[in-house]
Structure 1
Amino acid sequence: MNILISWFSQAGAWLTPWLSDIAVAIVASLLVVFGNDINRTLRRLLTGHHFIVRTLVFVAINAFGYGAFIITVSPWLATQMRRWPDHWLFAGLVATFMFIGMWAQRQRQI
């Protein structure tokens, strides 16, 4: 068991310099998985509004909203992940990406 923990710790330490990039990947993956639901909800809310209003809201949400979400949430997530011990960092990241992948599979995104 100590060998496994040691290996996880080494892997977590190896990933630490790239936590900011990993956080962006997690947030972007979540937006890809949930983007269709968000856009579908917006479409329902904006039905009946003028074309220009629908277009402006679509651009605001997709270009600026998603971008602002990635820019604000990613550094916070990277800071939170830096607090994890190295062996939990590796295991947590593997579990996170597996969860996102399984969720995407269930939502027929893959």
Structure 2
Amino acid sequence: MAAYYYFDIKLKLRDPDTVVLTPSLFRNCVLDALDSFFCEEKPTMEIVKFCALQQRVIFRVPEELYEMTRISLELIGHYQETPCHFQILQTSKSTLDFEKDIEKNFVGLPNSED
């Protein structure tokens, strides 16, 4: 059975109104970064959850690509030619769900981390 890592990412854009945030464009941005920084050609990357309004994405990659993906996300500086920052909110070997995290914060429960 293949092992995966999950990333919970918030995209912070300098001017959010100038971009179109879709799962496929986000995925291509990350895959292009992996290719550019590590010459890693089109690895498996599955988007698990996506919310354009919150500018958040949860995706998973094979465990062997965890470190390269984390480093690539920290180095990405543009999304559709708009300056940005990919904030890694959480990583985990188990499934993440930002809607559950929002509910926890809403009722004042502490966040748990892996």
Q: TM-score normalised by the shorter chain: which range applies?
A: under 0.3
Larger of the two Rg values belongs to structure: 1
Give the structure-2-normalised TM-score.
0.27
**If each structure's strand is expressed as a fraction of its own residues, which one has the higher value?**
2
Higher relative contact order (CA 8 A, sep 6+): 1
Q: TM-score, normalised by structure 1?
A: 0.27
